[in-house]
């Protein structure tokens, strides 16, 4: 298997894992505050990452890598989780898919600015068409929005795209799981203080779904997913593999249909087919 194929396969697995992030966050913020959820998930993931670094005796990053790790931490450890948790208090999880559809474009843009990539004009055409398809489909399904919630989601997408691109570029030197582990460890002191300051007043009223949501975003969304995602971006290319995020909303909807027996409209099947074509086109011209 060549590097590009391995990268796309690893990236696809990362997207499948990430597809449950927003629904899990939506469930968790029903009982946890956004600040506690953001800090707690980072602390839990950082402890797991630190254990992996110690177990495999990973070398410490150089001082020149610290700024990049800080950008990764700001984008994917703090910025995206916090802003989406705040946004999901104002908008439904379905509407957030509108903005997730813009994430591949943001990742590709920062891949050019921070990763030195130069996709062809045809790539941008397929990427833009795919983003418009996802956003249009989600907009039809989502209903009305909120100015505050929408603004928070836009900011979250920009920070996430930056964190993805920066982490992917750094993964070429350190490795994917090392990057996210060091970024989590870098944020651990601040996140620990924030978690302690925002502890729930009482634990008795927190339901099982909220605990499951916290566990999912801590272990899978914050750590395991990034192991595959950063490896995929580093091997297959930031701009190209980043387009796999276009499939994330449909994985989430398919999961809901499978587990919750929700109906699958024909528009979802048609939109998925078009998005797959766009991803294939983006891969061809990335």
Residue 198 has pLDDT above 70, yes or no: yes
Residue 143 has pLDDT above 60, yes or no: no
Chain position carrying tokens 């992917």:
168
Question: What is the spatial distance between Cα 129 and Cα 272, in angstroms, rounded to a whole number?
Answer: 12
pLDDT value for 27: 85
Tally Cβ neighbours within 10 Å of residue 96: 28
- SS3 (DSSP) at 19: coil
pLDDT value for 271: 76
Question: What does the pLDDT look like over 38-47, one tens digit per residue?
Answer: 999 999 999 9
Is residue 185 within 8 A of residue 49, CB to CB? The reply is yes
Residue % of the chain over a pLDDT of 90: 41
Lowest-pLDDT range of 18-22, 47-51, 77-81, 198-202: 18-22
Residue 91 has pLDDT above 60, yes or no: yes
Q: What is the mean pLDDT of residues 157-175?
A: 91
Question: What does the pLDDT look like over 13-47, one tens digit per residue?
Answer: 999 999 888 778 878 988 999 999 999 999 999 99
pLDDT value for 226: 92
Residue 223 has pLDDT above 90, yes or no: yes
Residue 266 class from Cβ within 10 Å (0-12 exposed, 13-18 middle, 19+ buried)? exposed
Question: What is the spatial distance between Cα 266 and Cα 189, in angstroms, rounded to a whole number?
Answer: 48
pTM of the model: 0.84
For the stretch 122-149, what's the b/e string if a residue is b when 16 or more beta carbons lie within 10 angstroms of its beta carbon?
A: ebbebbebbbebbbebbeebbeebeeeb
Is residue 249 within 8 A of residue 101, CB to CB? The reply is yes
The better pLDDT of the pair 271, 68 is held by: 68
Question: What is the spatial distance between Cα 264 and Cα 251, in angstroms, rounded to a whole number?
Answer: 12
- Domain-wise residue ranges, the chain: 3-285
Residue 125 has pLDDT above 60, yes or no: yes
User: Of the segments 129-133, 149-153, 172-176, 225-229, which one has the largest average pLDDT value?
Assistant: 225-229
């Amino acid at each position: 298997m060549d590097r590009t194929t391995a990268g796309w396969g690893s990236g696809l697995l990362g997207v499948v894992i990430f597809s449950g992030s927003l629904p899990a966050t939506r469930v968790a913020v029903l009982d946890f505050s956004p600040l506690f959820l953001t800090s707690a998930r980072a602390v839990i993931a950082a402890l797991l990452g630190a254990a992996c670094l110690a177990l495999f005796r990973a070398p410490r990053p150089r001082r020149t890598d610290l700024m990049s790790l800080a950008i990764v931490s700001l984008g994917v450890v703090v910025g995206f989780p916090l802003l989406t948790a705040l946004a999901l208090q104002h908008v439904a999880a379905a509407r957030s898919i509108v903005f997730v559809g813009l994430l591949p474009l943001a990742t590709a843009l920062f891949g050019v600015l921070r990763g030195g990539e130069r996709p062809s004009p045809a790539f941008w055409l397929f990427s833009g068409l795919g983003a418009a398809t996802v956003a249009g489909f989600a907009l039809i399904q989502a209903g009305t929005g909120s100015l505050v919630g929408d603004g928070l989601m836009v900011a979250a997408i920009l920070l996430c795209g930056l964190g993805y691109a920066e982490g992917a570029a750094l993964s070429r030197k350190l490795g994917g799981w090392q990057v996210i582990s060091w970024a989590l460890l870098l944020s651990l002191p601040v996140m620990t203080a924030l978690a302690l300051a925002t502890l729930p007043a009482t634990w008795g009223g927190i339901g099982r779904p909220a605990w499951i949501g916290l566990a999912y975003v801590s272990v899978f969304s914050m750590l395991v997913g990034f192991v595959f995602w950063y490896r995929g971006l580093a091997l297959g290319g930031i701009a190209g593999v980043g387009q796999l995020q276009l499939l994330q909303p449909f994985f989430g909807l398919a999961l809901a249909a499978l587990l919750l027996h929700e109906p699958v409209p024909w528009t979802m099947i048609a939109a998925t087919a078009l998005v797959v074509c766009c991803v294939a086109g983006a891969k061809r011209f990335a």
